[in-house]
Structure 1
Amino acid sequence: MDFRKSTIKDIPSIMGIIKQAQSYFKSKNIDQWQDGYPNEDSLKGDIENDESYVLIEDGKIIATAAISFRGEKTYNKIYDGKWISNDKYAVVHRVAVGDGYKGRGISYKIIKFSEEKCKEKGFYSIKIDTHDDNFVMRSMLEKNGFKYCGVILLEDGAERVAYEKILEK
Protein backbone atom coordinates (compact mmCIF):
# COMPACT_ATOMS: atom_id res chain seq x y z
CA MET A 1 0.00 0.00 0.00
CA ASP A 2 1.28 3.41 -0.96
CA PHE A 3 0.01 6.96 -0.77
CA ARG A 4 0.35 9.32 -3.68
CA LYS A 5 -0.98 12.71 -4.72
CA SER A 6 -4.35 12.55 -6.45
CA THR A 7 -4.78 13.58 -10.06
CA ILE A 8 -7.83 14.76 -11.99
CA LYS A 9 -8.04 11.26 -13.50
CA ASP A 10 -8.59 9.87 -9.98
CA ILE A 11 -11.79 11.85 -9.41
CA PRO A 12 -14.20 9.09 -10.56
CA SER A 13 -12.57 6.57 -8.21
CA ILE A 14 -12.47 9.06 -5.32
CA MET A 15 -16.13 9.96 -5.92
CA GLY A 16 -16.99 6.26 -5.82
CA ILE A 17 -15.47 6.03 -2.34
CA ILE A 18 -17.19 9.27 -1.27
CA LYS A 19 -20.56 7.92 -2.48
CA GLN A 20 -19.99 4.75 -0.43
CA ALA A 21 -19.33 6.90 2.64
CA GLN A 22 -22.45 8.97 1.94
CA SER A 23 -24.54 5.79 1.73
CA TYR A 24 -23.02 4.53 4.98
CA PHE A 25 -23.81 7.81 6.76
CA LYS A 26 -27.36 7.76 5.43
CA SER A 27 -27.88 4.16 6.63
CA LYS A 28 -26.74 5.21 10.12
CA ASN A 29 -28.89 8.38 10.13
CA ILE A 30 -25.77 10.57 10.23
CA ASP A 31 -26.45 13.90 8.56
CA GLN A 32 -22.93 14.23 7.18
CA TRP A 33 -22.13 14.54 3.46
CA GLN A 34 -25.85 14.30 2.65
CA ASP A 35 -26.10 17.63 0.82
CA GLY A 36 -24.02 16.96 -2.29
CA TYR A 37 -20.71 17.61 -0.54
CA PRO A 38 -18.00 16.61 -1.14
CA ASN A 39 -18.43 16.83 -4.88
CA GLU A 40 -16.20 16.83 -7.95
CA ASP A 41 -15.56 20.57 -7.61
CA SER A 42 -14.31 20.22 -4.02
CA LEU A 43 -12.07 17.33 -5.10
CA LYS A 44 -10.72 19.36 -8.04
CA GLY A 45 -9.94 22.18 -5.61
CA ASP A 46 -8.07 19.78 -3.34
CA ILE A 47 -6.05 18.50 -6.31
CA GLU A 48 -5.33 22.00 -7.64
CA ASN A 49 -4.19 23.05 -4.15
CA ASP A 50 -1.89 20.01 -3.96
CA GLU A 51 -3.82 18.72 -0.92
CA SER A 52 -5.47 15.51 -2.14
CA TYR A 53 -4.03 12.05 -1.55
CA VAL A 54 -5.11 8.53 -2.36
CA LEU A 55 -4.02 5.21 -0.92
CA ILE A 56 -3.31 2.57 -3.54
CA GLU A 57 -3.38 -1.21 -3.09
CA ASP A 58 -2.74 -3.53 -6.04
CA GLY A 59 -3.16 -0.60 -8.43
CA LYS A 60 -6.57 0.35 -7.02
CA ILE A 61 -7.56 3.47 -5.07
CA ILE A 62 -8.89 2.25 -1.72
CA ALA A 63 -8.97 5.43 0.39
CA THR A 64 -8.65 9.20 0.15
CA ALA A 65 -7.96 12.25 2.31
CA ALA A 66 -7.13 15.92 1.94
CA ILE A 67 -4.32 17.44 4.00
CA SER A 68 -4.23 21.22 4.04
CA PHE A 69 -1.65 23.57 5.52
CA ARG A 70 -3.59 26.75 4.71
CA GLY A 71 -5.63 26.90 7.92
CA GLU A 72 -9.40 26.75 8.18
CA LYS A 73 -11.39 29.91 8.76
CA THR A 74 -14.20 27.99 10.45
CA TYR A 75 -11.65 27.01 13.12
CA ASN A 76 -11.02 30.62 14.14
CA LYS A 77 -13.85 30.45 16.67
CA ILE A 78 -14.47 27.38 18.80
CA TYR A 79 -17.40 26.98 21.19
CA ASP A 80 -17.78 25.00 24.41
CA GLY A 81 -14.04 24.43 24.67
CA LYS A 82 -10.73 25.58 23.23
CA TRP A 83 -7.97 24.40 20.95
CA ILE A 84 -4.94 22.82 22.61
CA SER A 85 -2.57 25.14 20.77
CA ASN A 86 -2.58 28.32 18.76
CA ASP A 87 0.38 27.18 16.66
CA LYS A 88 0.25 26.69 12.90
CA TYR A 89 -1.67 23.53 12.08
CA ALA A 90 -2.68 21.16 9.33
CA VAL A 91 -6.27 20.20 8.67
CA VAL A 92 -7.31 16.76 7.49
CA HIS A 93 -10.58 16.68 5.55
CA ARG A 94 -12.60 14.28 3.44
CA VAL A 95 -11.22 11.05 4.91
CA ALA A 96 -12.94 8.09 3.28
CA VAL A 97 -12.13 4.39 2.98
CA GLY A 98 -13.65 2.10 0.35
CA ASP A 99 -16.27 -0.32 1.66
CA GLY A 100 -14.23 -3.44 0.96
CA TYR A 101 -11.29 -2.10 2.97
CA LYS A 102 -12.88 -1.03 6.26
CA GLY A 103 -11.67 -2.71 9.44
CA ARG A 104 -8.10 -3.08 8.16
CA GLY A 105 -6.54 -0.10 9.91
CA ILE A 106 -6.63 2.10 6.81
CA SER A 107 -7.76 5.19 8.77
CA TYR A 108 -4.79 4.67 11.10
CA LYS A 109 -2.51 4.65 8.05
CA ILE A 110 -4.11 7.89 6.80
CA ILE A 111 -3.50 9.56 10.18
CA LYS A 112 0.13 8.37 10.32
CA PHE A 113 0.71 9.56 6.74
CA SER A 114 -0.82 12.94 7.65
CA GLU A 115 1.50 13.19 10.64
CA GLU A 116 4.53 12.48 8.45
CA LYS A 117 3.48 15.18 5.96
CA CYS A 118 3.04 17.65 8.82
CA LYS A 119 6.47 16.99 10.27
CA GLU A 120 8.05 17.33 6.81
CA LYS A 121 6.57 20.84 6.61
CA GLY A 122 7.35 21.80 10.22
CA PHE A 123 3.74 21.57 11.44
CA TYR A 124 3.17 19.93 14.81
CA SER A 125 -0.58 20.32 15.23
CA ILE A 126 -3.38 18.58 13.30
CA LYS A 127 -6.98 19.73 13.62
CA ILE A 128 -9.99 17.75 12.40
CA ASP A 129 -13.73 18.16 12.65
CA THR A 130 -16.52 15.65 12.15
CA HIS A 131 -20.23 15.23 12.68
CA ASP A 132 -21.27 14.69 16.30
CA ASP A 133 -22.98 11.40 15.36
CA ASN A 134 -20.00 10.03 13.40
CA PHE A 135 -18.92 7.76 16.23
CA VAL A 136 -16.65 5.66 13.98
CA MET A 137 -14.55 8.71 13.08
CA ARG A 138 -14.65 10.09 16.61
CA SER A 139 -13.47 6.76 18.03
CA MET A 140 -10.70 6.50 15.42
CA LEU A 141 -9.50 10.02 16.27
CA GLU A 142 -9.44 9.32 20.00
CA LYS A 143 -7.62 5.99 19.49
CA ASN A 144 -5.00 7.91 17.49
CA GLY A 145 -4.30 10.50 20.18
CA PHE A 146 -6.63 13.31 19.12
CA LYS A 147 -8.27 15.26 21.94
CA TYR A 148 -11.79 16.63 21.82
CA CYS A 149 -11.60 20.45 21.88
CA GLY A 150 -15.14 21.78 21.37
CA VAL A 151 -17.54 22.68 18.59
CA ILE A 152 -16.96 24.65 15.40
CA LEU A 153 -19.53 26.02 12.99
CA LEU A 154 -19.28 25.33 9.28
CA GLU A 155 -19.95 28.16 6.85
CA ASP A 156 -23.58 27.03 6.57
CA GLY A 157 -23.94 27.14 10.37
CA ALA A 158 -23.88 23.36 10.89
CA GLU A 159 -22.10 22.25 14.06
CA ARG A 160 -19.12 19.90 14.00
CA VAL A 161 -17.11 18.46 16.87
CA ALA A 162 -13.46 19.49 16.72
CA TYR A 163 -10.32 17.58 17.65
CA GLU A 164 -6.62 18.38 17.79
CA LYS A 165 -3.46 16.36 18.11
CA ILE A 166 -0.06 17.77 18.98
CA LEU A 167 2.82 15.91 17.32
CA GLU A 168 6.17 15.24 18.93
CA LYS A 169 9.02 17.29 17.51
Structure 2
Amino acid sequence: MDIRKTNLQDIDQVMAIIDSARGLMRASGNTVQWTNGYPSREYIQSTIDIGENYVCLVADTIVATFCFSLESDPNYAHIEGGNWLNDQPYAVVHRLASNGQVKGIAMRCFEWCFEQCPNIRVDTHETNIPMQKVLTKLGYTRCGIIYVGDGTARVAFQKINS
Protein backbone atom coordinates (compact mmCIF):
# COMPACT_ATOMS: atom_id res chain seq x y z
CA MET A 1 0.00 0.00 0.00
CA ASP A 2 1.23 3.47 -0.89
CA ILE A 3 0.34 6.65 0.99
CA ARG A 4 0.54 10.11 -0.55
CA LYS A 5 -0.90 13.57 -0.07
CA THR A 6 -4.33 14.03 -1.57
CA ASN A 7 -4.68 16.09 -4.75
CA LEU A 8 -7.74 18.18 -5.51
CA GLN A 9 -8.38 15.82 -8.44
CA ASP A 10 -8.90 13.03 -5.86
CA ILE A 11 -11.74 14.74 -4.02
CA ASP A 12 -14.62 12.84 -5.69
CA GLN A 13 -12.99 9.52 -4.79
CA VAL A 14 -12.24 10.73 -1.27
CA MET A 15 -15.85 11.79 -0.71
CA ALA A 16 -17.09 8.43 -2.02
CA ILE A 17 -14.80 6.68 0.48
CA ILE A 18 -16.09 8.89 3.29
CA ASP A 19 -19.67 7.99 2.33
CA SER A 20 -18.72 4.31 2.28
CA ALA A 21 -17.05 4.58 5.69
CA ARG A 22 -20.12 6.36 7.08
CA GLY A 23 -22.19 3.36 5.95
CA LEU A 24 -19.74 0.95 7.59
CA MET A 25 -20.01 2.94 10.83
CA ARG A 26 -23.79 2.76 10.73
CA ALA A 27 -23.67 -1.00 10.07
CA SER A 28 -21.46 -1.50 13.13
CA GLY A 29 -23.82 0.46 15.41
CA ASN A 30 -22.15 3.88 15.28
CA THR A 31 -25.09 6.09 14.32
CA VAL A 32 -23.89 9.32 15.91
CA GLN A 33 -20.50 10.02 14.37
CA TRP A 34 -20.13 11.83 11.02
CA THR A 35 -23.69 13.17 10.90
CA ASN A 36 -25.25 16.28 9.37
CA GLY A 37 -22.96 16.21 6.35
CA TYR A 38 -19.70 16.06 8.29
CA PRO A 39 -17.08 15.94 6.95
CA SER A 40 -18.22 18.11 4.08
CA ARG A 41 -16.59 18.36 0.69
CA GLU A 42 -15.54 21.93 1.53
CA TYR A 43 -13.96 20.82 4.78
CA ILE A 44 -12.03 17.99 3.10
CA GLN A 45 -10.92 20.41 0.39
CA SER A 46 -9.58 22.76 3.09
CA THR A 47 -7.46 19.91 4.53
CA ILE A 48 -6.18 19.12 1.03
CA ASP A 49 -5.32 22.81 0.51
CA ILE A 50 -3.14 22.89 3.65
CA GLY A 51 -1.48 19.56 2.87
CA GLU A 52 -2.96 17.54 5.73
CA ASN A 53 -5.13 15.09 3.78
CA TYR A 54 -3.71 11.78 2.56
CA VAL A 55 -4.90 8.86 0.48
CA CYS A 56 -3.96 5.20 0.59
CA LEU A 57 -3.54 3.41 -2.71
CA VAL A 58 -3.53 -0.27 -3.57
CA ALA A 59 -2.64 -1.00 -7.20
CA ASP A 60 -3.08 2.72 -8.00
CA THR A 61 -6.64 2.70 -6.63
CA ILE A 62 -7.58 4.97 -3.72
CA VAL A 63 -8.96 2.73 -0.95
CA ALA A 64 -8.74 5.02 2.09
CA THR A 65 -8.19 8.57 3.23
CA PHE A 66 -7.15 10.30 6.46
CA CYS A 67 -5.98 13.60 7.88
CA PHE A 68 -2.52 13.77 9.45
CA SER A 69 -1.56 17.02 11.13
CA LEU A 70 1.55 18.11 12.99
CA GLU A 71 -0.39 21.03 14.46
CA SER A 72 -1.70 20.89 18.02
CA ASP A 73 -5.44 20.27 18.19
CA PRO A 74 -7.22 22.88 20.34
CA ASN A 75 -9.79 20.23 21.34
CA TYR A 76 -6.98 18.38 23.12
CA ALA A 77 -6.09 21.26 25.44
CA HIS A 78 -8.49 19.93 28.10
CA ILE A 79 -8.89 16.25 28.90
CA GLU A 80 -11.21 14.77 31.51
CA GLY A 81 -10.95 11.51 33.41
CA GLY A 82 -7.27 11.08 32.75
CA ASN A 83 -4.17 12.68 31.31
CA TRP A 84 -2.15 12.71 28.13
CA LEU A 85 0.99 10.57 28.27
CA ASN A 86 3.21 13.62 27.78
CA ASP A 87 3.13 17.31 26.90
CA GLN A 88 5.57 17.04 23.99
CA PRO A 89 4.73 18.15 20.44
CA TYR A 90 2.48 15.59 18.79
CA ALA A 91 0.74 14.72 15.55
CA VAL A 92 -2.97 14.07 15.18
CA VAL A 93 -4.83 11.58 13.01
CA HIS A 94 -8.41 12.45 12.07
CA ARG A 95 -11.14 11.24 9.71
CA LEU A 96 -9.66 7.87 8.77
CA ALA A 97 -12.04 6.38 6.23
CA SER A 98 -11.83 3.22 4.16
CA ASN A 99 -14.02 1.80 1.44
CA GLY A 100 -13.96 -1.48 3.37
CA GLN A 101 -12.53 -3.46 0.47
CA VAL A 102 -8.97 -3.94 1.79
CA LYS A 103 -8.24 -5.45 5.20
CA GLY A 104 -5.70 -3.85 7.53
CA ILE A 105 -5.96 -0.31 6.16
CA ALA A 106 -6.43 1.38 9.55
CA MET A 107 -3.47 -0.44 11.05
CA ARG A 108 -1.21 0.48 8.13
CA CYS A 109 -2.31 4.13 8.25
CA PHE A 110 -1.58 4.43 11.95
CA GLU A 111 1.78 2.69 11.52
CA TRP A 112 2.68 5.15 8.74
CA CYS A 113 1.67 8.11 10.90
CA PHE A 114 3.76 6.83 13.81
CA GLU A 115 6.75 6.54 11.46
CA GLN A 116 6.30 10.25 10.64
CA CYS A 117 5.93 11.32 14.29
CA PRO A 118 6.47 9.01 17.29
CA ASN A 119 3.95 10.91 19.44
CA ILE A 120 0.39 10.53 18.11
CA ARG A 121 -2.93 11.60 19.57
CA VAL A 122 -6.28 10.50 18.18
CA ASP A 123 -9.89 10.52 19.29
CA THR A 124 -13.00 8.60 18.37
CA HIS A 125 -16.61 8.36 19.41
CA GLU A 126 -17.42 5.91 22.20
CA THR A 127 -19.61 3.94 19.79
CA ASN A 128 -16.78 3.48 17.27
CA ILE A 129 -15.73 0.12 18.71
CA PRO A 130 -13.83 -1.06 15.59
CA MET A 131 -11.56 2.00 15.78
CA GLN A 132 -11.01 1.56 19.51
CA LYS A 133 -10.01 -2.08 18.91
CA VAL A 134 -7.48 -1.07 16.25
CA LEU A 135 -5.97 1.59 18.48
CA THR A 136 -5.68 -0.79 21.43
CA LYS A 137 -4.12 -3.49 19.22
CA LEU A 138 -1.54 -0.97 18.00
CA GLY A 139 -0.53 -0.02 21.55
CA TYR A 140 -2.41 3.25 21.94
CA THR A 141 -3.33 4.15 25.50
CA ARG A 142 -6.80 5.39 26.38
CA CYS A 143 -6.09 8.72 28.07
CA GLY A 144 -9.51 10.21 28.89
CA ILE A 145 -12.31 12.20 27.30
CA ILE A 146 -12.03 15.30 25.13
CA TYR A 147 -14.77 17.40 23.58
CA VAL A 148 -14.88 18.38 19.91
CA GLY A 149 -16.15 21.63 18.44
CA ASP A 150 -19.83 20.73 18.66
CA GLY A 151 -19.46 19.87 22.35
CA THR A 152 -19.74 16.09 22.00
CA ALA A 153 -17.41 13.78 23.89
CA ARG A 154 -14.71 11.66 22.26
CA VAL A 155 -12.49 8.96 23.72
CA ALA A 156 -8.89 10.16 23.47
CA PHE A 157 -5.89 7.92 22.82
CA GLN A 158 -2.17 8.49 22.58
CA LYS A 159 0.87 6.48 21.57
CA ILE A 160 4.43 7.56 22.23
CA ASN A 161 7.79 6.10 21.36
CA SER A 162 8.89 4.65 24.67
Per the alignment, residue 104 of structure 2 pairs with 105
Q: What percent identity do the matched residue pairs reach? A: 35
RMSD: 1.1
Per the alignment, residue 141 of structure 1 pairs with 135
Letter in 2 for 1:88: P
Per the alignment, residue 40 of structure 1 pairs with 41
- Are the aligned partners of 1:64 and 1:96 in contact in 2 as well (CA < 8 Å)? yes
Per the alignment, residue 82 of structure 2 pairs with 81
Does residue 55 of structure 1 match 2:56?
yes
Q: Report the more deviating stretch, 22-31 or 47-56.
A: 22-31
Q: Report the more deviating stretch, 52-61 or 143-152.
A: 52-61
Inter-partner Cα distance in structure 2 for 1:24 and 1:16:
12
Per the alignment, residue 19 of structure 1 pairs with 19
Q: CA deviation at 1:116?
A: 1.6
TM-score, normalised to structure 1, is: 0.91
Per the alignment, residue 69 of structure 1 pairs with 70
Letter in 2 for 1:99: G
Q: CA deviation at 1:15?
A: 0.6
> What are the Cα deviations for residues 37-81 of structure 1, in whole angstroms up to 9, with x where unaligned?
111112111111111111111221001111001110010000111
Q: CA deviation at 1:117?
A: 1.7
Per the alignment, residue 9 of structure 2 pairs with 9
Report how many aligned residue pairs link the two structures. 161
- Are the aligned partners of 1:26 and 1:34 in contact in 2 as well (CA < 8 Å)? no
Inter-partner Cα distance in structure 2 for 1:14 and 1:94:
11
Question: Helix, strand or coil for the counterpart of 1:114?
Answer: helix
Letter in 1 for 2:9: K
Letter in 2 for 1:73: P
Give the 4+ runs in structure 1 shifted more than 3 A.
none
Letter in 2 for 1:87: Q
Question: Helix, strand or coil for the counterpart of 2:9?
Answer: helix
Structure 1, unaligned stretches of length 5 or more? 119-123
TM-score, normalised to structure 2, is: 0.95
Inter-partner Cα distance in structure 2 for 1:42 and 1:64:
14
